[in-house]
Amino acid sequence: MKRLVIVGDTLLDRDVEGAVRRIAPDAPAPVLDEERVHERPGGAGLAALLAAADGHEVALVTALSSDAGGARLSEMLTAAGVELYALPLPGATPEKVRLRSGGQVLLRLDRGGDPVPPGDAPPAALDALRDAKAILVSDYGRGVARHPALRAAIEASAAPVVWDPHPRGPAPVPDARLVTPNLAEVCKLSGDAGDGATLTTAQRAGHLLRRRWRAAAVAVTCGPGGAVLCHSGPTPLVVPAPAEASGDTCGAGDRFAVAAALALADGALVSEAVQEAVRAATAFVAGGLPAALGAMPASPAVSGPERVGADQAGALVTEVRARGGVVVATGGCFDLLHAGHLATLRAARRLGDCLVVCLNSDESVRGLKGPGRPLTAQADRARLLAALDCVDAVVVFDEPTPEAVLSWLRPDVWVKGGDYADGGPELPESELVAHWGGQTVIVPYLDGRSTTRTIAAARSGS
């Protein structure tokens, strides 16, 4: 197990697949009949998924918005086993939507507006960088790679640094072990227009950037042509692709950078790491992105009042934070709402300016409590909670624990009610909440109130 810490911008990628059978009557444009939608983390999030799919320990330091897109990204990343350290991101989650038919991209729609600087980095994110076996900076030009505290922590780390740059992003930190631009990026970053000879252009521009950036090496990726490694010697190392591979190249650059970083974490030479990265990227293109990632978890949906759902919770949290308020969250099954629940919820609400309840879905409750639970469906449980004057929003989550939704909400205070005081077990979410500088607290509960006891008493007739 090699702990890889990935730093960079995460986007929400959506592929809308469909069939084109006609031209629109009101414009000379094809009409796409939507058949299915695939969504996944993009940018640094995709790099993290690829590394986690290889079976490695992966931490992702990124920026997430408090909206439904941020919630979905957090859900997918956490479900894949990625340890998430999220900086607050003002505005909407950036999205890339590709409209596809017959394996071809017809149009790409970008959402999210101009990049905005993320907020402060939680101390736990800086600690993760200090403990890294290797660091991969996956820059997509939206601001995370410019963050001063993150850059200082990356520079101070003894781990090998692989930097995947972006034309709109900052220069890599000095002494990066390997920088991995593609041929188009290296020409744009260097100002070299190219002369039609791929090898010559890659070598010339790569060496120029290596000296400018004070990097140990620059590997220029050339698609099916493999990669050109420019290092301190006068002669570049040309690493051809092991085989011809045809397919969707989306994500191939991330696959290359991840493989190189993992190889360096294992003690490989830079030349060996680039060879492994070319092999991995070629296999990735041949197999395709779905084969590399598998199915992403579905997001549970709850229809209900206006205070239920990720969109509503995201809007609330954004508004409260904009005015400097304190966001409080708590969680649970709330199968049979009783006085003990009400006492905990009221106590939690008094700790801040809004209270978001993270509610276990029906599937989650069954996994925790057994096939006979819940007694009350998630839609009804969500409505009952949202009707309480001490609850400002309800978000349903499908996992056994609320880690994914917590990573998205990033509450200032996480509240537990129950038997954790007086020498009880350590609070399970405390370490996670500390990732963004939050605090976990216990509030008093009414002794003797328990859903399980209530059900047992009703069944026994007592």
Which domains can be identified in the chain, with CATH numbers? 4-293 (3.40.1190.20), 310-460 (3.40.50.620)
CB of 439 within 8 A of CB of 412?
yes
Half-sphere exposure of residue 293: CA atoms within 13 angstroms, side-chain side: 28
Contact, 231 vs 203, CB < 8 A?
no
Report the amino acid identity of residue 440: T
Q: Give the chain's end-to-end CA distance (angstroms, integer).
A: 53
Residue 142 structure tokens? 């939206």
Angle between helices 123-130 and 148-156 (to 10 degrees): 20
What CA–CA distance (Å, rounded) separates 142 from 152? 18
- Beta-bridged to residue 218, according to DSSP, are 179, 230
pLDDT digits (tens, 9 = 90+) for 62-111: 999 888 888 889 888 988 889 999 998 988 899 999 999 988 899 999 99
- Taking the C-alpha atoms of 334, 337, 341 and 343 in order, what is their torsion angle to the nearest 10 degrees? 160
Residue 444: CB atoms within 10 A of its CB come to 11
| pLDDT at residue number 55 | 87
**Residue of 13, 15, 139, 254 marked catalytic:** 254
Q: In whole angstroms, what is the distance from residue 318 CA to residue 92 CA?
A: 10
Residue 151 belongs to what H/E stretch?
Answer: helix 148-156
pLDDT in the model for residue 337 = 86
User: How many helices and strands (H and E) does the chain possess?
Assistant: 16, 18
pLDDT for res 326: 94
pLDDT computed for residue 132 by the predictor: 95
Of the candidates 71, 83, 88, the residue with the CA atom closest to the CA atom of residue 143: 88
Q: CA dihedral in degrees (150, 153, 157, 159; nearest 10)?
A: -10
At 188 the pLDDT is 92
* Overall residue count recorded for the chain in this entry: 462
Distance, CA of 93 to CA of 73 (rounded, Å): 9
> 323-332 burial, b if ≥16 CB within 10 A, otherwise e?
eeeebbbbbb
Strand-pair category, 227-230 with 237-239: antiparallel
The answer to whether residues 427 and 331 touch, using CB atoms and an 8 Å cutoff, is: no
> Is residue 313 a contact partner of residue 321, using CB atoms and an 8 Å limit?
no
Can you list the residues of the chain whose pLDDT is less than 70? 1-2, 194, 196-197, 244-247, 290-306, 418-426, 445-462
- Residue 18: which of 103, 91, 109 has the closest Cα? 103
> In this structure, which long-range contacts are made by residues 398-402, counting pairs with CB atoms below 8 Å and at least 24 apart in sequence?
398/75, 398/297, 398/298, 398/299, 398/300, 398/361, 398/363, 398/364, 399/75, 399/78, 399/79, 399/364, 400/364, 400/367, 400/368, 401/428, 401/429, 402/331, 402/358, 402/360, 402/429
User: Looking at 186-255, which runs of residues are DSSP E strands?
Assistant: 218-221, 227-230, 237-239
Calpha distance 307→242 (Å, rounded): 54
Active site residue 254: yes
